[in-house]
Amino acid sequence: MAKNIKISPSRVSAYKVLSEVLMTGAYSNIALTKHLASIKIEADRRLCTNIVHGVIKKINKLEYVLSTLSNTPVNELDERVKISLYIGLYQIIYLNKIPEYAIVNDSVNLVKMFVGKKASGFVNGILRNALRKKHELKEIEFSDFFDIMYYEYGFKRALSEKLLLSYSKEELIEYAKYSILPPNVTLRVNKLKTNREELKNRFKEKGFEVRDTFVPEGIEVLSHLNVTLLEEYKKGLFSIQDCAGMVVAHSLDVKEDMKVLDMCAAPGGKSMHTSELMNNSGDIVSCDIYTKKLEIMNFRMKQLGINNIMTKKLDGTIFNECYMNTFDRIICDVPCSGLGVIRRKPEILIYYSNEKIEELKKVQRQILENGIRYLKKGGVLIYSTCTINKEENEDIVYSILKEHEDIKLNEINLPFEFDYDKAKAKEGILNISGDKNNIDSFFIAKLTKI
């Protein structure tokens, strides 16, 4: 790695994040959190995040553009060189206020720093050519539906074909457009320590712009800031959680002093929200397979003042006889394809495959089967995912219902209003459309043992 090269910290961090995501399979949200910590200026943090999300969301289009500019086939280029070029091309095509010299110089210097001086001339030539053709590149359009979904929005043909079994082309285009938008920042007020009005007033006194969400304990932050650095976060006055995730605990219809199981708990938002709705009473067992994630949960619970949750390392796919017919309420928020949270984790589209869906469906079904066995008679189980793929949602639930005569769907009653199919919710099925509510997309099914 070359030394004494000056580059904007936002682009250096963006390169590091993209390298981890595209070359080692890291999650962008986790990699961003790690590398943004070294950036002190908020504007640089925003630019870094913009570049990372933008490159990942537009990587197919950027690869196509690069193929028109490079005499060397794209698949023969060094991955590190491609990442530097994608960073430059994304800014040239999609960001209008950044000086052209800064785009080219920093991309060239990134290659010098992380690859070597030899490749810098190639990068310089490609980007200067791109600047000459900037208007032409900005006007590249596709007419075929599958090309639009792939190049403009990142949806592979196999995924588009699968989703077309459940949605129209128009619905998918609208959802894809929404998926490339920046995610909003939503907080869940910890009512064990404060209330929404008090927390909003604290933010407004600091000059932050916030507004209410449809969930009564939600606050959307409109100002650009890292909320985890605020004293209110460290004191446990709020957690970061999207409104769609908050709907899960409300759907559970939990009461004080109940015994609750969260089968796939980490990072813990639904467990902790349930605890707050129970006023820190009863008993919640929050399970996950990762020790480190459970340790983070324990630390966060102390900050929030929660003491009714016991974390436990447990694989939800493995039946635990000790839990048989034990719990009043169960949260079964299973691993899924994540197609409802593309705004936050755009790399989901890069690594999508039909084979992975088949593997996930087996895991989802096994976890739900075990959850049903853990549920008391008269108890309620919430099966939820953050995907729009019906194979992981309705299909799993209806197949389980056919095999368990003692399990039925139960009406979902919510104490707030937003855009959803109330007739389906009355039947026990809730599809939360992110693009209609400016939130993540979620699926929720409410099951009862009779």
Flag whether 174 is in a domain. Answer: no
The pLDDT, as a whole number, for residue 4 is 67
The SS3 assignment for 209 reads coil
Q: Are 371 and 387 within one domain?
A: yes
Q: Are 249 and 373 within one domain?
A: yes
The pLDDT, as a whole number, for residue 448 is 98
Residue 431 in this model has a pLDDT that exceeds 70 = yes
The SS3 assignment for 330 reads strand
Residues above pLDDT 70, as percent of the chain: 99
Going by C-alpha positions, the residue among 289, 358, 284 that lies closest to residue 317 is 289
Q: Are 407 and 420 within one domain?
A: yes
Q: Which range of residues forms the domain containing residue 128?
A: 9-140
Flag whether 179 is in a domain. Answer: no
Annotated binding residues for S-adenosyl-L-methionine, written as ranges, equal 264-270, 288, 315, 333
Flag whether 177 is in a domain. Answer: no
Q: What does the alpha-carbon distance between residue 107 and residue 86 come to, in Å, rounded to a whole number?
A: 9
Annotated binding residues, written as ranges, equal 264-270, 288, 315, 333
Q: Are 354 and 413 within one domain?
A: yes
Which residue type, as a one-letter code, is found at position 95? L
* CATH number for the domain harbouring residue 228: 3.30.70.1170
Q: What does the alpha-carbon distance between residue 162 and residue 167 come to, in Å, rounded to a whole number?
A: 9
The pLDDT, as a whole number, for residue 224 is 87
Give the residue-averaged pLDDT of 160-169: 97
Q: Are 372 and 423 within one domain?
A: yes
Q: Are 261 and 373 within one domain?
A: yes
* CATH number for the domain harbouring residue 33: 1.10.940.10
Which tens digit of pLDDT belongs to each residue from 220-278? 999 988 899 999 999 999 999 999 999 999 999 999 999 999 999 999 999 999 999 99
Which of 84, 119, 140 is the endpoint of a domain? Answer: 140
Flag whether 175 is in a domain. Answer: no
Is the full-model pTM beyond 0.85?
Answer: yes
Going by C-alpha positions, the residue among 270, 303, 299, 300 that lies closest to residue 285 is 270
Which tens digit of pLDDT belongs to each residue from 370-396? 999 999 999 999 999 999 999 999 999
Give the residue-averaged pLDDT of 120-131: 97
Active site residues: 386
Give the residue-averaged pLDDT of 194-213: 97
Flag whether 62 is in a domain. Answer: yes
Q: Are 259 and 380 within one domain?
A: yes
Tell me the pLDDT band of 3, cut-offs 50, 70 and 90.
low
Q: Are 284 and 210 within one domain?
A: no
Residue 166 in this model has a pLDDT that exceeds 70 = yes
Give the residue-averaged pLDDT of 97-112: 95
* CATH number for the domain harbouring residue 325: 3.40.50.150
Give the residue-averaged pLDDT of 122-145: 97
**For the chain, how many structural domains are there in total?**
3
The pLDDT, as a whole number, for residue 439 is 97
Mean pLDDT of the chain, nearest integer: 96
Mark residue 378 as left, alpha or beta (left: phi above 0; alpha: psi -120 to 50; beta: remaining).
left
Q: Are 231 and 256 within one domain?
A: no
Tell me the pLDDT band of 70, cut-offs 50, 70 and 90.
very high
